[in-house]
């Protein structure tokens, strides 16, 4: 294995995979190393969409399964933060929903955060370039890109009933949440191909073999190395042995909203007093590293319901698995192709809002505590989250050792407005469940009364709400000097170092974050390919 590369990318999630593939393809004369702490192969439970139920709840080779610090506004509960580990990152274990967010999200980055080059007009062509939408190309969608986007092959009848009920409740049908408008209800498009999960590694890395791209899996990066203020490489542990790799041009951190600030701090970039507490030499005092954590707090309405189209740990479901497997292998169709969270939508909780402020997901099984509390009964759930929360949390070091999980504090409902907005959103979900199309499927509430409100609903939210897996913002970019990154994702205070993943978002986008993470990797490749440093390297 070579020990020197032009570019070293730390983290094989959607952003890291996109960036590595684009740089390697554009410049065959550059050497690229993509380093990932987890395994190279996705595994059967990841490839088969319904296997998500086995991936999210447990710590494994492909799931960091972090815990948060106790959440004061959630009855002091320790919440759960599953994150993908392996080539593909969280696209290995996520719900496969392909959502970009609202145009206003990106326009606000440029306008309010002074992030030139990040308006929706700037990023839409990048989204289209990355996409192969099976519906075809149009004003909002591309074909021929590395990320396959498809409609569900075998939509569930109850997911369809939920959409019909939402229309009866007054919400418009929206066939494309990534089109001209986001508001309304419908089925989600998914990152699948032929009925199988199609994550970032399959699209960007496995689809091609390039001699100038070295992929190092099962490799833990311990810190970025420096010569003065310039990043020179990384220190790694691979196969139990510690060694160093050198980067001639840049080191790029793409380790996610938890891993990227952790690695910056472990390398000497962050709040100076905090670093000194852990015996870390301060390279650059950057107080906002690990701050600005934003996430979608989610409340789940769970209903037990005996129905042949729903899932659960029942004899009937288990007995049907061989038949479902045969159909899946033969045709790539059937119940195993379900991403579980099949339908949903984007809703406004108050009159006069110009864009949706909550999102709902309808899932075809009970999802109690991320699936960690098993139900020997079929059922369904309706998830509701606030799209643009005001609450902000932190990521801090528990140790200078990157193998020790960081201290994660999302500060859920630190701002009361988030809780009030969520309660209104749950009220809209109840309204949909009471519409005629869902009337035959009321089932039995797992917690609380059938249509809780007021103090009862607030108590239920505090007792059961948690993440729906979209942490961002901990290495925010911005035009202000306090921002961790400049708008081209370069780390302020040092040279030769960038961060490229969801941690760069100054504010949380209005939706699921996998597609925007890939876009960020794509966008970073444009910056690097046109940069002065890249020109000097080419010369």
Catalogue the active-site residues.
Answer: 470
What six digits make up the tokens of 509? Answer: 């986008």
Sign of the CA dihedral with 180 first, then 182, 188, and 192 last: positive
Evaluate whether 36 touches 215 at the Cβ level (below 8 Å): yes
Strand partners, 215: 34
Query: Would you give the end-to-end CA distance of the chain in angstroms?
Result: 25
Residue 179 Cα to chain centre, angstroms: 20
| C-alpha–C-alpha distance, residues 139 and 85, integer Å | 35
DSSP letters for 36-57: -SS-S---HHHHSGGGHHHHSS
Strand partners, 5: 247
Q: Strand ranges (DSSP E) for 108-229?
A: 131-133, 147-149, 184-187, 192-193, 196-197, 213-216, 219-227
- Spatial neighbors of 199 by CB under 8 A, at least 6 apart, are 14, 42, 46, 88, 91, 92, 191
Alpha-helical runs (H) found in 40-197: 44-47, 52-55, 103-112, 120-130, 157-168
Give the length of the chain: 539
| C-alpha–C-alpha distance, residues 58 and 234, integer Å | 30
| C-alpha–C-alpha distance, residues 330 and 220, integer Å | 39
CA 342 to each of CA 12, 303, 451: distance values in angstroms, whole numbers, following the listed order:
26, 16, 23
Question: Exposed e or buried b for every residue in 492-520, given b needs 16+ CB within 10 A?
Answer: bebebbbbbbbbbbbbbbbbbbbbbbbbb
Count of Cβ atoms closer than 10 Å to residue 56 Cβ: 21
CA 270 to each of CA 8, 264, 491, 504: distance values in angstroms, whole numbers, following the listed order:
21, 7, 11, 15
- Spatial neighbors of 477 by CB under 8 A, at least 6 apart, are 113, 115, 118, 483, 484, 485, 486, 487, 489, 504, 505, 506
Helix, coil or strand: residue 7: strand
């Amino acid at each position: 294995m070579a020990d020197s590369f032009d570019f070293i990318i730390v983290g094989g999630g959607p952003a890291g995979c996109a960036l590595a593939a684009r740089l390697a393809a554009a410049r065959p004369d550059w050497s690229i190393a993509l380093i990932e702490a987890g395994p190279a192969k996705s595994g059967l439970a990841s490839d088969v969409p319904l296997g998500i139920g086995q991936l999210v709840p447990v710590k494994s080779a492909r799931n960091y399964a972090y815990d948060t610090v106790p959440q004061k506004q959630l009855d002091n509960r320790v919440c759960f933060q599953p994150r993908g580990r392996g080539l593909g990152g969280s696209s290995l274990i996520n719900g496969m929903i392909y959502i970009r967010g609202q145009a206003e999200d990106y326009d606000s980055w440029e306008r309010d955060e002074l992030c030139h080059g990040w308006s929706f007009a700037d990023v839409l062509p990048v989204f289209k370039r990355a996409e192969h939408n099976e519906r075809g190309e149009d004003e909002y969608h591309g074909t021929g890109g590395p990320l396959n986007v498809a409609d569900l092959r075998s939509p569930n009848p109850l997911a369809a009933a939920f959409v019909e009920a939402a229309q009866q409740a007054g919400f418009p049908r929206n066939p494309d949440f990534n089109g001209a408008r986001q508001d309304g209800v419908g089925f989600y498009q998914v990152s699948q191909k032929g009925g199988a999960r199609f994550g970032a590694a399959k699209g960007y890395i496995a689809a091609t073999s390039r001699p100038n791209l070295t992929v190092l899996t099962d490799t833990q990066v311990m810190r970025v190395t420096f010569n003065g203020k310039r990043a020179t490489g990384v220190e790694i542990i691979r196969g139990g042995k510690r060694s160093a790799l050198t980067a001639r041009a840049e080191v790029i951190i793409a380790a996610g909203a938890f891993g990227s600030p952790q690695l910056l701090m472990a390398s000497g970039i962050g709040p100076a007093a905090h670093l000194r507490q852990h015996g870390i030499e301060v390279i650059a005092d950057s107080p906002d590293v690990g701050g600005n954590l934003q996430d979608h707090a989610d409340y789940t309405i769970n209903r037990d319901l005996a129905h042949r189209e729903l899932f659960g740990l029942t004899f009937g479901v288990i007995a049907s698995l061989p038949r479902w497997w045969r159909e899946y292998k033969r045709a790539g169709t059937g119940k195993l192709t379900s991403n579980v969270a099949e339908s949903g939508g984007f809703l406004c909780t108050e009159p006069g809002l110009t864009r949706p402020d909550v999102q709902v997901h309808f899932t075809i099984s009970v999802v109690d505590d991320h699936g960690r509390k098993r139900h020997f009964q079929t059922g369904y759930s309706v998830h509701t989250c606030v799209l643009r929360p005001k609450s902000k949390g932190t990521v801090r070091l528990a140790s200078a050792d990157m193998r020790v999980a960081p201290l994660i504090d999302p500060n859920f409902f630190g701002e009361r407005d988030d809780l009030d907005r969520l309660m209104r959103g749950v009220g809209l979900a109840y309204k949909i469940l009471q519409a005629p199309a869902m009337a035959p499927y009321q089932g039995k509430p797992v917690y609380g009364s059938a249509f809780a409100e007021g103090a009862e609903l607030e108590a239920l939210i505090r007792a059961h709400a948690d993440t729906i897996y979209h942490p961002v913002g901990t290495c925010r970019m911005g035009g202000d000097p306090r921002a961790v990154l400049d708008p081209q994702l370069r780390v302020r205070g040092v040279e030769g170092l960038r961060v490229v993943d969801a941690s760069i978002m100054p504010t949380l986008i209005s939706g699921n974050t996998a597609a925007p993470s890939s876009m960020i990797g794509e966008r970073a490749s444009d910056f690097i390919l046109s940069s002065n440093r890249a020109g000097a390297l080419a010369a």
